[in-house]
Amino acid sequence: MALWDEVKNNLIEWYAFTSDKTTEAARIGSRRWDKFGISRDIERQFSELGSLVYVGLKEENDDVLSSEPVLELKRRIESLEVELAAKGEEIDDIRAEYARAASAGGEDQVVTPEAAGTDPVTETVITDPVLEVGAEESAILVEPIIETGDDSVDQADEDDKKEIKE
């Protein structure tokens, strides 16, 4: 039963890890989408500002840069740039928060076997898969041989076994 406990604990850790990564990606994605929207608003404001300056210069209005609509657009653009920088800082803060949790081992988010009062889970990593047919940890799936009493079927099974060993 220890194998199933290890599988269960590994799945719990894996699900917690993927849940954390998904949450991080969703939070960052939301902020990035907000940054995109703010960037589009800044572009629109620049376009409107350029239009006002062009019309003012075309009408030979020398004080076009000190007019109230141009100054209002300048203030809006500056506030949007501050918002954009704040969204960038939020993204950096989210990444730092999840990096701290990962470097701390995620003990605050994942229940480890030690914290649950059970034995720690040990992993067995198979670097060279066992290819022997019938070995306990074999990487080859083998269907059971059913004795039918027919010699031709038994001979075919023997030929298959020879091919596998070669």
Per-residue model confidence as pLDDT tens digits over 88-127 = 999 999 999 888 887 876 544 433 344 445 554 444 444 4
By mean pLDDT, which of 36-45, 49-58, 61-70, 144-153 is the weakest?
144-153
Q: Rounded mean pLDDT of 128-135?
A: 52
Contact 86, 44 (CB under 8 A): no
Per-residue model confidence as pLDDT tens digits over 48-69 = 999 999 999 999 888 888 899 9
pLDDT band at 141 (very low <50, low <70, confident <90, very high): very low
CA distance 37 to 31: 10
Residue-averaged pLDDT of the chain: 76
Question: What is this structure's pTM?
Answer: 0.55
8 vs 46: which has the higher pLDDT = 46
Backbone angles phi, psi at 144, to 5 degrees: -65, 145
Q: Rounded mean pLDDT of 74-101?
A: 92
- Go through the chain and tell me how many residues it has: 166
Residue 73 burial class via C-beta count within 10 angstroms: exposed 0-12, middle 13-18, buried 19 and up: buried
| Angle formed by the axes of helices 68-103 and 2-58, nearest 10° | 170
Contact 132, 138 (CB under 8 A): yes
Contact 79, 86 (CB under 8 A): no
According to DSSP H, which parts of 59-150 are helical?
Answer: 68-103, 113-116
